[in-house]
Amino acid sequence: MAINAAPPSERDRIALLAFELPGEPRSPVNYAVRLAGAIEERGLDVHLFCNKPTSFHRSHLVRGFESDPAPVAQARALCSSAVAHIGRVGQEVGSFTALHAIQWSSAPAVLGSARPGQNRAVVTFLDTVFSRYGKMNGSLENAQVRRLEQEAADECDTVLAGSEPVRQELAWLYNATKAKIITADAVECPEPSRETNNGAPRLVFIGSWDAAGGADLFVDTALNLATDVSPWEFVVGGDVVSRARLQADLRRRGQIELLARFNVEETTAAALAPGAIALVPARGAASSAPVFAAWRAGCPVIVTRAGPYYDVEDEVNGLRAFPFAQSLADAARALAKGAEQIRLWGEAGRRKVENQFTWPAVAAMLELIYREKTTVALISNG
C-alpha cells in the first residue's frame, strides 16, 4: 500500500537557510521568507537562518566574519557560522527533520549540519552558475561556485530546481538527473473574475516590451490577424509599454495604421479577464511567471517553443507555436474558434496553477520530501 507521508510524533522542525550575496539575480532570502510562511501553515515548525533581518517570526541572524567581499568567501564564512548556530538552536528546540538550503551559497551549511538517517539535506537551485553568467568557467569565482553546486548536487538527499530550464542545467552540468521541480515563481491565486469578453477576440501581450520579450513578434502577429474578416482587439498593459512608446514603435516600423486596433489598459492584470487569449511571444525566457499570470486570470496561453513553454499542454490549457508571426497567428485563430474552448482551456490553466504553482501547493510537495526518510522507515518495518 502506498504511503504518502508519515504522521510525525511531534511537530516536524525545518531549518531553512538563505544568504543574500552579491550577483544573485533573485533574492534567496525573500524567497525563503515566503516559503517559510507557506510551510508553517502546513503545521511544521520552521526556523529561518539568514544573513539579514527578515519579517519571519522565527528568524536567526547569521553573521560571517570575512573581509573578502567575494561571494564564495562570504558564503563559506556564513556557512561556518550557520553550522554552529543550527547546532545551538537544535539543542534548545530539538532535532530538525530536514535542513533546506535555498541556493548554492547555503548548501555547505546544510551538508555540514545534516546527520545521515536523522534528517534530510535538501537544496533548491533558483538558478545555476551557467544561467547567471552564460558560461561555466572563465573566472576563479565561477569555478568555485560550480564546485559548490556540484557538491550540493552530489551529496544532498534531494535536489530541487526552480524551473524546468534549471532542472535541465543541473542534469547537464552535474548529472543531477533526479532533480525535482519546485517552482521558484510560486504565486497567489485570487478569486477568479466573473467578467467575460463576448465581443471581438482579445489578444493580450504578456512579457517585457523588447526583443527578448517578443514585442516585435506581437506586432507582426497583430498585423497578420488584422487581415481577418472578424475583427481582433490587441491589448497591452500600460505597466509594460505606454501608448506613446507603442505609437513611436509602430511608426518606426511603418505600421502606424495598427494603432487604432490596439488598446492600452492600465495594467496587464486589468487586461486579463476570462475570454481573453494571452500571448507570451518571448524568445527564451526561463521564467514561467507570464504564463502563470494568464492562468491565474483564467486565460489560455499561446507561447513560443523558444520561450517558457514547459508547463503549457497543447489543447489543454494553451498552445505552443514556433517563434514566427504566421505560426502565432494561426494558433490564435485556432484558439479563437469558440468562446467555450477559450473558457475551458483558461479554467484548466487556472486549476494547474492552483494545484502545482501556488505557495500552498509548493509547501505540500515539500512536506512530503521532508518526511521521505520517515516514510521509508515505516514501510520497511511493515
CA distance 133 to 58: 34
Residue 370 pLDDT class (50, 70, 90 cuts): very high
Note whether 294 and 271 are within 8 A (CB): no
Pairing mode, if any, of strands 180-181 and 120-125? unpaired
Q: What is the mean pLDDT of the chain?
A: 89
The torsion of the CA quartet 152, 158, 161, 166, rounded to 10 degrees, works out to 50
Q: What does the alpha-carbon distance between residue 348 and residue 295 come to, in Å, rounded to a whole number?
A: 8
Q: What is the pLDDT of residue 314?
A: 95
351, burial (CB in 10 Å: exposed 0-12, middle 13-18, buried 19+): middle
Assigned CATH class of 13-186+358-380: alpha beta
What own/partner pairs with CB < 8 Å and gap ≥ 24 does 135-139 have?
136/173
Kindly tell me if the per-residue pLDDT of 43 is higher than 60: yes
311-348 confidence digits (pLDDT tens): 999 999 999 999 999 999 999 999 998 899 999 999 99
Where in 23-148 does DSSP place strands (E)? 45-50, 59-61, 98-102, 120-125
The C-alpha cell 544532498 sits at 156
Instruction: With beta carbons less than 8 A apart as the criterion, state whether 98 and 124 touch.
Output: no
| Every domain of the chain and the residues it spans | 13-186+358-380, 202-357
Cα distances from 94 to residues 15, 51, 91, 97, 353, in angstroms, run: 11, 22, 6, 10, 36
Cα–Cα distance, 236 to 129 (Å, whole number): 34
> CB atoms < 10 A from the CB of 354, how many?
15
Residue pLDDT, tens place only, 100-150: 999 999 999 999 999 887 889 999 999 999 888 777 767 888 889 999 999
> In the CATH hierarchy, which fold is given to the domain comprising 202-357?
Rossmann fold (3.40.50)
Q: Give 180-231 pLDDT, tens digit per residue.
A: 988 888 888 777 665 655 578 999 999 999 999 999 999 999 999 999 988 9
Burial of 75 (0-12, 13-18, 19+ CB in 10 A): buried
Using DSSP, state whether 104 is helix, strand or coil.
helix
Distance of alpha carbon 109 from alpha carbon 102, whole angstroms: 11
Name the grid cell of 347: 479554467
> Does the pLDDT at position 295 exceed 70?
yes
Radius of gyration for the chain, computed over Cα atoms and rounded to the nearest angstrom: 23
- Residue partners of 220: CB distance under 8 A and separation at least 6: 325
Q: Report the 10 Å Cβ neighbour count for 43.
A: 10
What is d(CA 346, CA 296) in angstroms, rounded to the nearest whole number?
A: 9
The grid cell for 316 is 489543454
Same fold, 13-186+358-380 and 202-357: yes
Q: How far is CA 240 from CA 149, 213, 228, 271, 275, in A?
A: 35, 11, 26, 12, 21
Write out the H or E segment, with its range, that includes residue 340: helix 339-352
Please give the share of the chain, as a percent, with pLDDT higher than 90: 73
CB proximity list for 186: less than 8 A, separation 6 or greater: 34, 35, 38, 357, 358, 359, 361, 362
pLDDT of residue 5: 42
Summarize the confidence of residues 234-251 as an average pLDDT. Answer: 95
Q: How far apart are CA 187 and CA 38, in angstroms?
A: 11
320 sits in which H/E element:
strand 318-321
CA distances to 18, 238, 274, 281 from 317, rounded to whole Å, are 34, 26, 13, 16
Helix axes 359-370, 372-380, angle to 10 degrees: 40
pLDDT over 70 for what percent of the chain?
92
Query: pTM above the 0.75 mark?
Result: yes
pLDDT digits (tens, 9 = 90+) for 62-79: 998 877 888 999 999 999
What gap in Å lies between CA 87 and CA 188, rounded to an integer? 34
- Residues 104/148, Cβ–Cβ less than 8 Å: yes
pLDDT at 199 (0 to 100):
72
- The confidence score (pLDDT) of residue 139 equals 82
